[in-house]
Amino acid sequence: MSIFLLPQSALKEIDHLCRLFLWGGKGNRSKFHLTSWELVCCPKSHGGLGFKEGPLWNRLLLSKFIWAISSKQDLLWVKWVNCIYLKGTQIWDYKLHPDASWYWKKLIKISKDLSFSLLVSASANGNLVLSRLYQLFLSSSPKPIMKSVWCSISVPNHKFILWQAVLQKLATRDLLSNCHISLPSLLCPICDLLPENHSHLFFECVFSRRVVQSVFDWLQGLCWPSNFSDWCIWLEADRKNFKDRITLVALAASVYYIWYTRNRCHFDSSCLMVSSVTSLIKSSVSARILGLKLRSKSMASRANQMTQFLPNLY
């Protein structure tokens, strides 16, 4: 992709394989999901997962040749192109001749979507930074909430489910119904009292409330808001304090295991008890804190403070 402009069919197949890798699936069909591929291809700071959209990424990889030509880098092939094709003009002013090579025609076509000022804004120390150029082509903007979602010390699986919960893209029964998928009931599969949606599942469900309250009692005062909108605002704050980051670890674990319990109730008709879910959350957070001791001395000292803060950590 960094040398040739691949056929569209090949690029679509690459994107398809990436979707299968992300969501899982059988054969050529990925599992049901609600998050669009365009969002997945945004950087994590913009609300995506950092995948690259095949056709766009292929063109931007080839833009490094446009940058080399326009900045007149000290390369033999650049000098040859400027001497034979451009003859002192900029590539954007070049008039394509019918007898030009296939590769040169493709480069000229790619250059039409670029400008010298755009390439300069995506460069650093004389080099074109392709990831920066890719972001300039995206319509999305950075989202402060994603710093908390992708907290570096949270468990990866937990962060992935938290990311979908924040975006309200988990396959809850209300969203499945909106996709015209027939369901025996729209009620929450855990409490079977009210219709299931993200706000109910993680904040209003009797089961979830009891789980979260048990976690709050264990964290000795560390907590998060008890409704979805305030929760999202709370996550937007910049949390550098170690205790706050541990709270994010506990939050991600709580969301993950509540969703895990919901799926067991939905697919296996066997829900876990509150004590079992709370125990899983505590074990996950404890293992994460104890694992931080192995990272560095500074991290170990803060983890030791946390173990003193939570005497029942073990």
Averaged pLDDT for residues 136-153: 90
The reply to whether 302 falls in a domain is yes
| Residue pLDDT, tens place only, 33-64 | 899 999 999 999 999 999 999 999 999 999 99
pLDDT value at residue 312: 60
pLDDT value at residue 222: 85
The reply to whether 1 falls in a domain is no
Residue 95 identity (one-letter amino acid): K
Question: How crowded is residue 127: how many other Cβ atoms within 10 Å of its Cβ?
Answer: 12
The reply to whether 280 falls in a domain is yes
- Distance in angstroms (rounded) separating the CA atoms of residues 252 and 153: 11
Of 22-26, 151-155, 310-314, highest mean pLDDT? 151-155
Could you tell me the residue range of the domain that residue 112 belongs to? Answer: 8-136
If asked whether residues 36 and 132 sit together in one domain, one would say yes
The reply to whether 90 falls in a domain is yes
pLDDT value at residue 314: 45
If asked whether residues 130 and 242 sit together in one domain, one would say no
CA distances from 307 to 154, 167, 203, 286, 295 (A): 17, 33, 28, 9, 16
| Residue pLDDT, tens place only, 213-257 | 999 999 888 899 999 999 999 999 988 888 888 899 999 999 999
pLDDT value at residue 196: 96
Number of independent structural domains in the chain:
2
Provide the CA 2 distance to its chain's centre, in angstroms.
24
pLDDT value at residue 101: 86
The reply to whether 3 falls in a domain is no
| Residue pLDDT, tens place only, 175-198 | 999 998 988 899 999 999 999 999
Query: Average pLDDT over the chain, rounded to whole?
Result: 89
| Residue pLDDT, tens place only, 104-114 | 889 999 999 89
pLDDT value at residue 276: 95
From the list 293, 290, 210, 310, the residue with the least C-alpha distance to 254 is 210
pLDDT value at residue 311: 55
Query: Is residue 306 scored above 70 in pLDDT?
Result: no
| pLDDT band (50, 70, 90) for residue 310 | low
If asked whether residues 215 and 292 sit together in one domain, one would say yes
The reply to whether 261 falls in a domain is yes
If asked whether residues 287 and 185 sit together in one domain, one would say yes
If asked whether residues 13 and 62 sit together in one domain, one would say yes
Query: Is residue 209 scored above 80 in pLDDT?
Result: yes
The reply to whether 2 falls in a domain is no
If asked whether residues 156 and 296 sit together in one domain, one would say yes
The reply to whether 44 falls in a domain is yes
If asked whether residues 131 and 168 sit together in one domain, one would say no
282 backbone dihedrals φ, ψ, rounded to 5°: -60, -45
